[in-house]
A = this chain, B = another copy of it.
Amino acid sequence: VTPPVVILVRPQLGENIGMVARAMWNFGLSELRLVSPRDGWPNPAAGPPAAGADIVLDSATVFDRLEDALADLHRVYATTVRKRGMMKEVVTAQEAARRIHALPGRAGLMFGPERSGLETDDVARADAILTVPVNPAFGSLNLSQAVILCACEWFQQADTSPPARLDGDLEGPATHGEVEGLIAALDEALTPAGYFYPEDRAPTMRRTLRNILERPGFTVQEVRTLRGVVRALKDKDKAIETKDLVDQILTK
């Protein structure tokens, strides 16, 4: 899949171009085109905010006319939050990302200047308008923020990460039998301590404990840790006696 090209139309601040480069490369986009950048190109101010995304800055190309920057692209999306009074399809960033992945060709994402956004004539050159729904009371996105939202949507379309997974335990989840062993060990510690009292409430108390211990979906390692906790609490008096004994021997 070919990533979309990012086209910045009359960008003003070099800092923003650098931040755009960083945002692009965070999500695997590397081709940047600049149409009439206000302060010329290359612009040293773009370097530091790019934070190492040199691959994007070094290969950026400059155009005088928007039509030349779009000439080899098959589909172009104009990003704008404002209504334009022109007959153009308006798509979400997610829908644009879906279409770009399905497109047998190259796509481009057009972004306007920081202060004013794209002109109506710029938008007219696009196949569709890409609009990110925002807080209607505060809709002005920073240029690199607009770029990263589109780039991230494109990247997510190809991403196969599960919505949720458990990380960090090489031994994996505990079986029902292992959790059962933990419940039995806790029960064995609590019974002589007089916890299950009064007798007629014991079944309910046992059920509540079972629900507490089943719900988290413990890992093997966590069950082992909790069995150690139960053992330590159960043998507390014994442990203190042992410790006293050791201390007595050591202080003698």
Q: What is the interface of chain A, defined by CB distance below 8 A to chain B?
A: 19, 22-23, 25-28, 51-53, 83-92, 94-95, 98, 128-129, 131-135, 138-142, 144-145, 148-149, 152, 155-156, 159, 161-169, 219, 221-222
Contacts and interface: CB of A to CB of B under 8 A. Distances in A.
15 contacts: A26-B134, A26-B140, A53-B138, A83-B167, A86-B167, A87-B169, A88-B166, A88-B167, A90-B167, A94-B156, A131-B161, A132-B152, A133-B161, A141-B148, A145-B145
B135 A25 contact: yes
A23 B149 CA distance: 11
Given A145-B148, A149-B148, A149-B152, A138 B26 contact: yes
Query: So how many copies of this chain end up in the complex?
Result: 2
B25 A138 contact: yes
Given A19-B142, A22-B145, A52-B138, 20 more contacts: A23-B145, A25-B135, A25-B138, A26-B134, A26-B138, A27-B134, A87-B167, A87-B219, A88-B166, A89-B167, A90-B164, A90-B165, A91-B163, A91-B164, A92-B163, A94-B156, A128-B164, A133-B159, A145-B145, A149-B149
A98 B22 CA distance: 28
